[in-house]
Amino acid sequence: MEKKPLLTVKNLKQHFPIKGGFLGRTVNHVKAVDDISFTIYEGETVSIVGESGCGKSTTGRAILRLDEPTSGEVYFQGENVLTLSNRKMRKLRKEMQIIFQDPYASLNPRQTVKQILEEALAIQKVVRKKERNDRVLDLLEKVGIAAYQADRYPHEFSGGQRQRIGIARALSVDPKLIICDEAVSALDVSIQAQVLNLLKSLQKEFKLTYLFISHDLGVVRHISDRIIVMYLGKIVETGDKHSIFENPQHPYTKALLSAIPVPDPERKKERIILKGDVPSPINPPSGCRFHTRCPFATDLCKTKEPVLTTEDHMKESHQAACHYINDFAGKIPAHN
């Protein structure tokens, strides 16, 4: 079956100005997202992963124009989102929903769950007024909340249940794309699995496309078709899930993978421990941004920026930005 692109991001940059001095001039920029490009096809689940501060949420917010990006293009179903009028943009917001880590912050504490969902339906004019009640109960049932709980307030639910309500609200407007920004990060592992399973089954039923954002590769492993690894505002590696997990190329991806706990203590695991903290995105390191923390960095890495490439030993859809992927040739170099 021919894959149809749903979302295409081209050369997206988000440089936040830093004001300073007594005149409040822009003295510098936080290069939160620095020239990234990727495509998400209909029905896919793509995950963006990377450490805190690498620009994951900024990417999600820029796609939805919650913050206007500095430059680049974002196409949703062929239309450049960044040049749409406000009126058209409002319409499009229905098609692209976002779910955050803390649903409590985004649920009005003075409204019952039913009122919250009815309001979402009313704003987007999805169904007629007299059908709203049925639609709300139907949505709640889909996410595993019983009808008798519809008149409760957000604080009367557990974290997992609140996340289900957040999902119901996102679903209420019949979106095509849902961006899940750390949507399960705050939940217990067992509840995490339940919510991920719910999202997976809703995907089939409603033909949804997901962009998952997470700092934890382990969390997105089962749900993802493809993975994008970001470091300091750049994509350092991207590929289908199997390429990333079984044939990682970038030392940073390897480091992230080696941080996932292994259930079997007998299984030996090569570990790459990263030195130090993520450098500042205000003055990112020269050359390869990862060189200050990479155990394999050479002088070349300090001066020349690597570009995303696919070498012979990699799948066609798999790309990594490292000068030495051929030398590693898919093997994790011996390192303790």
Q: Which residues bind ligand ATP (CB under 6 A)?
A: 16, 30, 32, 50, 52-58, 215, 281
Q: Which is nearer to ligand ATP, 33 or 168 (CB)?
A: 33
Find which of Mg ion, ligand ATP, none residue 154 binds, CB within 5 to 8 Å per kind.
Answer: none
49 contacts 216 by C-beta, under 8 angstroms: yes
Nearer to Mg ion, 66 or 307 (CB): 66
For residues 172 and 121, the answer to whether their CB atoms sit within 8 Å is yes
Question: What b/e readout covers 49-71, taking b as 16+ CB neighbours within 10 angstroms?
Answer: bbbebbbbbbbbbbbbbeeebbe
Residue 301, contacted partner among Mg ion, ligand ATP, none, CB below 5-8 A by kind: none
- Interaction partner, residue 215 (ligand ATP, Mg ion, none; CB < 5-8 Å by kind): ligand ATP
DSSP for 167-214 reads: HHHHHHT--SEEEEESTTTTS-HHHHHHHHHHHHHHHHHHT-EEEEEE
Minimum distance, C-beta of residue 282 to ligand ATP, in the bound complex (Å): 8
Q: Is 252 left (phi over 0), alpha (psi -120 to 50) or beta?
A: alpha
In terms of CB distance, is 76 or 231 closer to ligand ATP? 231
Q: Provide, rounded to whole angstroms, the least separation between the CB of residue 67 and Mg ion.
A: 13
Nearer to Mg ion, 45 or 57 (CB): 57
Q: Is 58 in the site for Mg ion (CB under 5 A)?
A: no
**Which of 57, 59, 161, 192: binder of Mg ion (CB under 5 A)?**
57
Residue type, position 171, single letter: L
Q: How far is the CB of 168 from ligand ATP (least distance, A)?
A: 24
Spatial CA neighbour of 250 closest among 299, 281, 285, 291: 291
Which range binds Mg ion by CB under 5 A, 49-57, 122-130, 280-288, 314-322?
49-57
Size of the site for Mg ion (CB under 5 A): 1
Q: Which does 16 bind (CB under 5 to 8 A by kind): Mg ion, ligand ATP, none?
A: ligand ATP
Residue number with CB closer to ligand ATP (16 or 75): 16
Residues 226-265 contacting Mg ion, CB under 5 A: none
The site partner of 54 among Mg ion, ligand ATP, none (C-beta below 5 to 8 Å per kind) is ligand ATP
The one-character DSSP state at 280 is: P
Residue 93 to residues 27, 58, 294, 329: CA-CA distances in angstroms? Answer: 34, 17, 40, 43
Among ligand ATP, Mg ion, none, residue 58 binds (CB under 5-8 Å by kind): ligand ATP
Phi and psi at 142, nearest 5°, equal -60, -35
Span of 52-60, 147-155, 229-237, 323-331 interacting with Mg ion by CB under 5 A: 52-60
- In the complex, the smallest distance separating the C-beta of residue 293 from ligand ATP, rounded to whole angstroms, is 16
Among the candidate windows 18-26, 56-64, 85-93, 238-246, which touches Mg ion by CB under 5 A? Answer: 56-64
For residue 195, what are the CA distances in angstroms to 45, 219, 313, 329? 15, 11, 36, 37
Count CB neighbours of 175 within 10 A: 19
User: Could you list the residues that contact Mg ion (CB under 5 A)?
Assistant: 57
